[in-house]
Amino acid sequence: MMAEFKVPIGPQHPALKEPISLRMTFEGEIIKDADVRLGYNHRGIEKLAEQKTFIHNLYLTERICGICSHSHTTCYAQGVEKLMGIEPPKRGLYIRTLIAELERVHSHLLWLGVAGHEAGFDSFFMYTWRDREVVMDILEIISGNRVHYAMNALGGVRRDIDEVQRKKILDSLDLLIKRTGYYANIGTNEPTFVARLANVGVLSKQQAIDLCAVGPTMRASDISRDVRKDDPYAAYAELPFEVCTAATCDVLGRTIVRVKELFECYKMIEFMLKNLPAGEIRVKAPRRVKEAEVVSRYEAPRGENIHYIKSNGTDKPERLKVRAPTLANYPATLVMLKNGYIADIPLIFAAIDPCICCAERLVEMTDARSGETHVVTMDELRKRSVEHYRKVGISRKDAVWQL
């Protein structure tokens, strides 16, 4: 029997794109235990959202993440529109859904490349990212920027799609469909790649339900749940598409689910472009919102995204709470890592499509002198911060920004 090593993977590690600390116990090449520690990327977005108006928060929520930026801002905008009691026009909803599906395409192509890179298959990575540029160029033409599209307004969307852009997107779709088919073929037929994906990170159906996995991680364990079908928002009630599942419960299943979702996205984009309703793209929204609270759900490329917004009659929200999908997948990841090999860590972790900066909502306070840790509630944290800033002498009203 070999000795047990306690080793930290992260916060700095080539397998991770963002800092997170996985404290693992190894016995030889087998993982015996894993523990996760968050908080390295905490930016205080929820607190900042309480000090900015509803319009400002559209752009703040967008910057929670770069890859799934549109999902956060749409989830927020949907919630606030519910609070205000306004309903965006049909064309606005269609354009919002179009951007959402284009974002799903670019996110899944990015994931395919990252999976290839983690498995050492660098050529696959280069090719999928080269073809992802087609989608990024389309998004730049429609919205003015490659990431952080800023297409949402409270009450609809800000920019319209004209005939030239529509034609361009339809033409690029053919190229994308052909290339995605080719990658699906390579990904499932290259023996060295499949050997790394098959039977790795197994999560049985019952475990996935018990641990509340979301997104493709859950759908690869043969659970057919998707917010777009169960609780349709935006234009999804009128779009024909299917929920993609796989039955193998491992990383290969998650790859197959994402590739199938890519094909469904192409179908939806084509349908939306051919049936875009005419009309206005936005309605006017009030600046002040009466007291109410709302929960808004959205199917991000990584899973179910939940925003809880509470308003108090002014033009600033009382509370914004973001539950990103990766946060829900962490407990499932810890179970998947047990009894795997070291060589599987990057792939298992990459298979949940981690967007760690989305999920930074937890802060653990460690006493520097005694080394004890305890979790602090939001109210207590707020009390401590108010006291601290009063002591230091900076308050909001007369703050001078040095730069």
Provide the binding-site residues for other proteins, judged by CB under 8 A: 5, 7, 13-15, 29, 52-53, 55-60, 63, 116-124, 126-127, 130, 133, 140-141, 144-145, 148, 150, 153-155, 158-160, 182, 185-186, 189-196, 281-282, 284-285, 341-346, 401, 403
For the CB of residue 190, give the shortest distance to other proteins in the complex, in Å: 6
- Read off the tokens for 364: 């653990």
Give least dist CB 242 to other proteins, A: 28
What is the smallest separation between the CB atom of 350 and other proteins, expressed in angstroms? 9
Compare residues 189 and 370 and give the one whose CB is closer to other proteins: 189
Token pair 């990057």 is found at 346
Terminal Cα-to-Cα distance of the chain (whole angstroms): 60
Question: Of 95 and 324, which CB lies nearer to other proteins in the complex structure?
Answer: 95
Would you give the distance in Å from CA 12 to the centre of its chain?
21
Sign of torsion, CA 374 380 382 383?
Answer: negative
- Minimum CB–partner distance for residue 396 and other proteins (Å): 12
Instruction: State which residue, 165 or 207, has the beta carbon closest to other proteins.
Output: 165
Nearer to other proteins, 186 or 294 (CB): 186
CA dihedral 89, 93, 98, 103 (to 10 degrees): 140
Whether 346 contacts 15, CB under 8 Å = yes
Q: What is the DSSP letter of 282?
A: B
Rounded-to-integer distance, Cα 162 and Cα 145, Å: 17
Count CB atoms within 10 A of the CB of residue 129: 17
Shortest reach from residue 2's CB to other proteins, in Å = 10
Residue with smaller CB distance to other proteins, 52 or 321: 52
Smallest separation (angstroms) from other proteins to the CB of 104: 22
To other proteins, the closest distance from the beta carbon of 309 in angstroms equals 17
Measured CA distances, 137 to 66, 98, 159 (Å) = 16, 15, 16
Distance CA 96, CA 153 (A): 10
Shortest distance in whole angstroms from residue 19 CB to other proteins: 15
Q: Which is nearer to other proteins, 58 or 320 (CB)?
A: 58
Q: Are 156 and 89 in contact (CB under 8 A)?
A: yes
Tell me what percent of the chain is helix, strand and coil, each rounded to the nearest 5. Answer: 50, 15, 35
Nearer to other proteins, 189 or 206 (CB): 189
Nearer to other proteins, 169 or 281 (CB): 281
Single-letter code of the amino acid located at 244: C
Q: Where are the alpha helices (DSSP H) in 53-162?
A: 54-62, 69-84, 90-118, 122-143
CB of 231 to other proteins, least distance (A): 27
Q: In 10 A of CB 304, how many CB atoms?
A: 22
Q: Which residue is associated with the tokens 């519910």?
A: 82
- SS3 (DSSP) at 88: coil
